[in-house]
Structure 1
Amino acid sequence: MMWFFEYAPIAMFVLLLVLLFLGIPIAFSLGAVGVFFALIMWGIDSTALLPSAVWGVMNNFTLIAIPLFILMSVLLEKTNIISEVFDSVYKWSGGFRGGLAIAAIIVGAIIGSISGVVAAGVIGLGLIALPQMMKYKYNENLSLGSIMGGGTLGQIIPPNLNMVVYGAITGVSVSSLFAGGLSAGFLLIFFFIVYILIQAYRKKDAAPALAKEDRASFKEKVTSLKSITLPIILIIIVIGSIFTGVATPTEGAAVGVLGTVLIGFGTKRLNWNKTQEAIKESTKMTGMVGWILIGAATFSAVFSGVGGNQLVSDLAQAAPGGRWGVLVFSLLFIILLGMFLETMALIMLAAPIITPIIVEAGFDPLWWAVLFMVVLQMAFLTPPFGFAIFYLKSAVGDKVAINKIYRATLPFIAIQLLVAITLIIFPILAVWLPNLLNN
């Protein structure tokens, strides 16, 4: 039995991957593996301890922000904000080479700040932006890649559900992590746009500017801003109140929901039926998040009990290169998990294991949290289970083969990796805004 106990952490991950490949939802795969190994290792009585592990995670005030941010995002979606935001940015940028792809990046960032949900960004852009780029004969790889790159900015641009979970699990200030995520998000946007411009001007036909007759007049451009002014002001108020410490993330989320309802009914974009639909949809999404947290908490408790945390720590400490070897090992560990796991489950599994190792190695926990989020964004694009790939596929249907979508992710994965390396070389880029706000 001792040999089984020694290899139990590895066996847990192997069984988890098998269940995922069989198509079993991540939440139930995590929970099932945890319960199964608890029964094998310690018998039926041990399962009585698992609810306490789950309760320790779920009984966290910070996590109340999750259903509120989800409700806010769904309400904004019901008001057709996404299509109007793209229309506005599209009118202002369409006259430049690569303008539509740049619009996808900018709108993805705005959608990320509005919803904090990657699926909303990728699917929304896939339905709205991709047809426009196909119409003007944009390079297919550039079109698909910019949509997934822009759509996944919801992972790093606050307010962000994953940041709330990470802060609740590790104790890192959520408001500081929001600020760090914003500075890292601007860096990603800059790198994405530079890449698009290089491609647009290196290959004349890769991303042509709109024909003069198709460009919006100045009056149309100004008019297009009116429809998105109130939602943008709302986001600034929500994020600003959290950054400045006026409100906690939970309180900021509540203000966001109230503001969204007032804007929706005030502009007659929202009615009682749409509100009911939004409440039902957000309840389903919250339930899904809750089950992921429960499954991950169960898996993590058993994984720690069989020595998994210690095994990972020993491997990190054995990595050559001292503290930098520990950092590289930790990043590779997250990237590997990101190829297979949903991001929230990945946070629940990896953050409690890796974060103490990184802090013990002498790295700033806030800087690491921001870097963690940047690397986590890569998980949405990395095969075989990059969720952004399947979100986009669900939006485009049979119009685009999935192998083309896979291929389109590669340059944007490389850019995300480049940004991660930049943050390692220049850590101030990740923490300057939190430090500025805290002083």
Structure 2
Amino acid sequence: MEWFEALALLLGAILFLMAAGMPVALAFLAANIIGAWVFMGGERGVSTLLNNGWGALTKYALMPIPLFLLMGEIFFHTGLGGRMFNAIDKLLGRLPGRLSYVTVLGGTAFSTLSGSSMGSTALLGSLMVPEMQRRGYKSHMSIGPILGTGGLAIIIPPSALAVLLATLAQIDVAGLLIAGVIPGLILAIFYIATIWLQTKRDPSAAPAYDVPPMSFASKLGLFLTEVVPMVGVMVVIIIMMIRGIVTPSEAAAFGALGVMILAAVFRCLTSEAMRKSITGALRVTLMAYLIVFGSATFSQLLAFSGASRGLVNWAISFELAPLVMLLVMFAVLLLLGMFMEQISIMLLTVPIFFPLAQTLGFDLIWFGLIMLLALEISFTTPPFGLLLFVMKGVAPPGTTMREIYSSAFPFIFCSLLLVTLLIAFPQLALWLPSK
């Protein structure tokens, strides 16, 4: 069988099963069994493939996923996230568009701890949109910052999706996590600048309102007690990884322990909050591990059948410049993001794109960050970006999908601008991991 026939069989089986309503991970598993039967010699091939898949689950690099998820769940269910948002809200005073800034600043800090774009968007949407609409904010000033900030969870560590991508691509987990720090902060600054421009262009879009005045000493005390401890957890674990003191798995454990200690200090670490946190983290962890199992066996089948090598050779036969090939891969990710959720995209593209990127001479950490940004943009790409529907689910009644789409576009532009900067100046991503 030719390589393109093998590729068509594997991808066709996956897409058919997904279209028939089968869950993504199970669709990959079923297609892998079919492929193993065809390419690896029937029952013996299936047995070999499954044994190799179990081996992929024993990788130490997967350990940060449940710990990062547990950290975010505790942060959410104990109410620490709400305390931090309330503090930032009071600190900004009577600033025009204040609640939009609160969304970006508080959302950026929350994203670093939650590691989940869907969780960030759901929390911000349920907390902030009703309040902003009550204050007379227009939809693009309330919905847009939330859609943008929710995506920051993908690239600012600790990011469970970054850990999963690094594991699937077999690249350095710590390197990819740390590479997202500077670009993530730049993206948050772009968002703040966007809000400032929107308020200058249309002051009525985010009307100011009176707030109780606070002395400088009160603001300083609020900042030190309600903001610094939460953000400090993220800063400490990043510094520990950069200095080589801990591995990503150990950093994730310290992060989860740190959030638990904070919750205990603030007297909000209840048994019910822990039960909900452990249940939520366990549910997502099991899904992630099943996905790793399916992806590992899928990659082996692509290699065994010759499909991955044939596809890479076919792609480089066009003799396109590496930058053009990068833009083609980026466009494919955006296109897939209109119709598929991000983990499915990773399962389909990582076994193909990373060997191609290596052949083209790209730094794989840098390319991994570009791919994460493409996934972040596809989260909010109309018509079927996942965060668009999460926002629709938590937005006040009467919010239309058209309003959500139009609110997302300025923040999509910010992300595209960041990608342009990373292509022009790769050291924005690579300098910090090199330290």
Same fold (TM over 0.5): yes
Assess, with a 3 A threshold, how the Cα gap between structure 1 residues 119 and 433 changes in structure 2: closer, same or farther.
same
Name the counterpart of 1:392.
391
| 1:14 CA displacement | 4.3
2:401 equivalent to 1:405: no
Assess, with a 3 A threshold, how the Cα gap between structure 1 residues 312 and 108 changes in structure 2: closer, same or farther.
farther
Look up the SS of the partner of 1:97 in the other structure.
coil
| 1:295 CA displacement | 2.6
Q: In 2, distance between residues paired with 1:14 and 1:398?
A: 39
Cα deviations by residue, 1:215-261 (Å, 9 ceiling, x for unpaired): 55246644543223322222222222112110001011111122222
Q: Is the 8 A contact 2:84 2:227 kept in 1?
A: yes
2:359 equivalent to 1:360: yes
Name the counterpart of 2:133.
134
Name the counterpart of 2:259.
260
Q: Is the 8 A contact 1:149 1:412 kept in 2?
A: yes
Cα deviations by residue, 1:119-139 (Å, 9 ceiling, x for unpaired): 221001001111122122222
Matches within 5 A, 1:11-410: 11-40=9-38, 43-93=42-92, 95-208=94-207, 210-211=208-209, 213-214=210-211, 216-218=213-215, 221-225=219-223, 226-319=225-318, 321-396=320-395, 398-410=397-409
Q: Is the 8 A contact 1:107 1:150 kept in 2?
A: no
Q: Which is worse superposed, 144-153 or 371-380?
A: 371-380
Q: Is the 8 A contact 2:366 2:430 kept in 1?
A: yes
Q: In 1, distance between residues paired with 2:188 and 2:177?
A: 16
Q: In 1, distance between residues paired with 2:176 and 2:221?
A: 35
| 1:59 CA displacement | 1.6
Q: Is the 8 A contact 2:169 2:351 kept in 1?
A: yes
Assess, with a 3 A threshold, how the Cα gap between structure 1 residues 338 and 271 changes in structure 2: closer, same or farther.
same
Q: Is the 8 A contact 2:378 2:385 kept in 1?
A: yes
Q: Is the 8 A contact 1:339 1:383 kept in 2?
A: yes
Q: Is the 8 A contact 1:95 1:215 kept in 2?
A: no
Assess, with a 3 A threshold, how the Cα gap between structure 1 residues 47 and 171 changes in structure 2: closer, same or farther.
closer
Look up the SS of the partner of 1:205 in the other structure.
helix
Q: Which letter does structure 2 place at the counterpart of 1:170?
A: A
Q: Is the 8 A contact 1:141 1:408 kept in 2?
A: yes
Look up the SS of the partner of 1:400 in the other structure.
coil
Q: Which letter does structure 1 place at the counterpart of 2:49?
A: L
| 1:423 CA displacement | 0.9
Q: Is the 8 A contact 1:90 1:100 kept in 2?
A: yes
Runs of 4+ residues deviating >4 angstroms: none
Q: Which letter does structure 1 place at the counterpart of 2:142?
A: S
Look up the SS of the partner of 1:95 in the other structure.
coil
Q: Which letter does structure 2 place at the counterpart of 1:376?
A: L
Assess, with a 3 A threshold, how the Cα gap between structure 1 residues 311 and 339 changes in structure 2: closer, same or farther.
farther
Assess, with a 3 A threshold, how the Cα gap between structure 1 residues 204 and 283 changes in structure 2: closer, same or farther.
same
Q: In 2, distance between residues paired with 1:195 and 1:319?
A: 39
Q: Which is worse superposed, 110-119 or 369-378?
A: 369-378
Q: Which letter does structure 2 place at the counterpart of 1:347?
A: M
Structure 2: gaps (5+ residues):
none
Assess, with a 3 A threshold, how the Cα gap between structure 1 residues 65 and 333 changes in structure 2: closer, same or farther.
same
| 1:334 CA displacement | 2.7
Q: How many residues in Structure 1 have an aligned counterpart in Structure 2?
A: 432
Q: Is the 8 A contact 1:97 1:201 kept in 2?
A: no
| 1:319 CA displacement | 4.1
| 1:40 CA displacement | 5.0
Look up the SS of the partner of 1:214 in the other structure.
coil
Q: Is the 8 A contact 2:155 2:180 kept in 1?
A: yes
Q: Which letter does structure 1 place at the counterpart of 2:86?
A: D
Q: In 1, distance between residues paired with 2:187 and 2:226?
A: 27
Q: Is the 8 A contact 1:335 1:375 kept in 2?
A: yes
Q: In 2, distance between residues paired with 1:105 and 1:308?
A: 43
| 1:407 CA displacement | 3.3
| 1:155 CA displacement | 0.4
Cα deviations by residue, 1:161-200 (Å, 9 ceiling, x for unpaired): 1222233333433222222100110121122222221111
Q: Which is worse superposed, 118-127 or 271-280?
A: 271-280
Percent of aligned positions with the same letter in both sequences? 28
Cα deviations by residue, 1:20-77 (Å, 9 ceiling, x for unpaired): 4454322222222322344455544432122133123212101011111111111111
Cα deviations by residue, 1:361-419 (Å, 9 ceiling, x for unpaired): 22222222222222221121124442212222222264423343233322222221221
Q: In 2, distance between residues paired with 1:416 and 1:162?
A: 17
Q: Is the 8 A contact 1:63 1:164 kept in 2?
A: yes
Cα deviations by residue, 1:78-105 (Å, 9 ceiling, x for unpaired): 2212222222222233522332222211
Look up the SS of the partner of 2:205 in the other structure.
coil
Q: In 2, distance between residues paired with 1:19 and 1:405?
A: 31
Q: Is the 8 A contact 1:138 1:207 kept in 2?
A: yes
Q: Is the 8 A contact 1:374 1:420 kept in 2?
A: yes
Q: Is the 8 A contact 1:184 1:370 kept in 2?
A: no
